[in-house]
Structure 1
């Protein structure tokens, strides 16, 4: 599988490490009244979708960047690759 890194261009997926669902960018508020339940869900509950899914990938054997990869889990077709920092900033502004 080839991941088209936004800065470095096409790279083999062997250079990356899959780190899970991209929803991990949205860390719960530790001071909220529901913090225990929120962190339990954040840490342990995951969807296992068939189809399009946003995932976190770490470029371990490269520039050590974090990426959000939108990928079809049934075909492995990648439709979008973004720097995780840009996604986090964008989601932070939309709150």
Structure 2
């Protein structure tokens, strides 16, 4: 949540339509952040120009569940694609 303003700033500054969200080092349960993401951050990303969002899961099971919750609840107008590994996530974004 703390990094969201920087992400939005970079997205607008660079006029990006794609985001690669690498969570391979994220640990723990973050359901509150997931809810905030779907309610607040994802709509802000869409307004800033994001159209494609590649989400690389954390290796931790509970973190994956929180991510799934966020992705299922969002209606931000962004195409989200979850991945377990970084390389396929990046390849998907390049193909969009």
Which band: TM-score by shorter chain? Answer: under 0.3
TM-score, normalised by the number of residues in structure 2: 0.22
Larger radius of gyration: 1
Higher strand share: 1
Specify which structure has the bigger relative contact order, considering alpha-carbon pairs within 8 angstroms and separated by 6 or more residues: 2
Q: What TM-score comes out, normalization by structure 1 length? A: 0.22
